[in-house]
């Protein structure tokens, strides 16, 4: 039951089933977005 619920949540959020736990996916996605933001800010600093 617990695994089924996790899979449903993952399917709702990502549109597909994955073997990774949802919190790892969420955290890695967050980290990538943060990194992208930092890169953009760095690019803006360079004249």
DSSP secondary structure of 1-47: -HHHHHHHHHHHHHSS--SS-HHHHHHHHHHHHHHHHHHHHHHHH--
In the chain, domain spans:
2-45
Q: For residue 8, what pLDDT is reported?
A: 55
Q: Which has more confidence, 11 or 1?
A: 11
Contact criterion met (CB below 8 Å) for 24 and 9: no
- Read off the pLDDT of residues 11-44 as tens digits, 9 standing for 90 and up: 555 555 555 555 555 555 566 666 667 777 777 7
Q: For residue 44, what pLDDT is reported?
A: 72
Q: Where does the pLDDT of residue 47 fall: very low under 50, low under 70, confident under 90, or very high at 90 and above?
A: low
Q: Which has more confidence, 45 or 11?
A: 45
């Amino acid at each position: 039951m617990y695994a089924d619920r996790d899979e449903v949540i993952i399917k709702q959020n990502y549109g597909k089933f994955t073997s990774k736990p949802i919190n790892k996916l969420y955290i890695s996605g967050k980290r990538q977005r943060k990194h992208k933001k930092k890169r953009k800010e760095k690019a803006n600093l360079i004249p």
